[in-house]
């Protein structure tokens, strides 16, 4: 998946939010700034919803976690929703209600700790996924309960892959490849 955030990609997130809210935030203009201090904002000009802005410093950084990018889009969309629904601006009680409806915490600022959490989580998942690459169709495993079995198929991707394993008497089980790696031996 592309790690860089284009206008189209941001609009696609907003279209999903529009489906939830019945609003039309995805129709507003989106501009990109060079700001390092402001990740994004929603503006009102002349009493009307005007536009969204997002910083290229973050949205063009391939190492910036996708979860943080989406959370910030939702944060700014909550400002839009607050203005359209309640006529309010800022981080007040109605904005917090909008955040709740969008499924995000009503936090005012970007968190380096939050970003680092996702970065570390992705690194761990990548390492785990690489470890699981040693399993493929035809690999024999020994399950603690069902005994010896053969992996017939691997489905899914990354660290969340599943394995279809055939045991004695044509008993077939769908098991997490991570679980197999932790609990089973190879034959």
pLDDT recorded at residue 167: 94
pLDDT tens, residue by residue, 55-85: 998 899 888 889 889 999 999 999 999 999 9
pLDDT tens, residue by residue, 100-152: 999 998 886 666 666 677 677 778 888 888 999 999 999 999 999 999 999 99
How many other CB atoms sit within 10 Å of the CB of residue 168? 9
Place of tokens 């907003």: 14
Our count of domains for the chain comes to: 2
Evaluate whether residue 2 is within a structural domain.
no
What CA–CA distance (Å, rounded) separates 95 from 78? 6
Question: Of 49, 76, 110, at which residue does a domain stop?
Answer: 110
Domain coverage including residue 182: 132-186
pLDDT tens, residue by residue, 6-59: 999 999 999 999 999 999 999 999 999 998 878 999 999 988 889 999 999 889
């Amino acid at each position: 998946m592309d790690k860089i955030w284009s206008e189209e990609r941001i609009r696609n997130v907003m279209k999903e939010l529009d489906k939830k809210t019945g609003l039309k935030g995805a129709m507003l203009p989106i501009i990109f700034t060079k700001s390092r201090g402001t990740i994004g904002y929603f503006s009102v000009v002349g009493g009307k919803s005007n536009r969204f802005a997002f910083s290229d410093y973050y949205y063009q950084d391939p190492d910036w976690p996708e979860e943080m990018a989406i959370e910030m889009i939702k944060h700014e969309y909550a400002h839009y929703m607050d203005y359209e629904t309640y006529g309010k601006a800022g981080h007040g009680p109605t904005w917090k209600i909008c955040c709740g409806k969008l499924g995000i915490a009503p936090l005012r600022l970007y968190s380096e700790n939050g970003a680092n959490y996702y970065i570390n989580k992705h690194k761990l998942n990548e390492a785990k996924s690489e470890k699981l690459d040693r399993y493929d169709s035809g690999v024999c495993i020994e399950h603690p309960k069902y005994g010896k079995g053969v992996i017939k198929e691997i489905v899914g991707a990354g660290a969340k892959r599943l394995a279809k394993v055939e045991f004695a008497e044509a008993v077939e089980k769908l098991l997490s490849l991570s679980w197999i790696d932790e609990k089973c031996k190879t034959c």
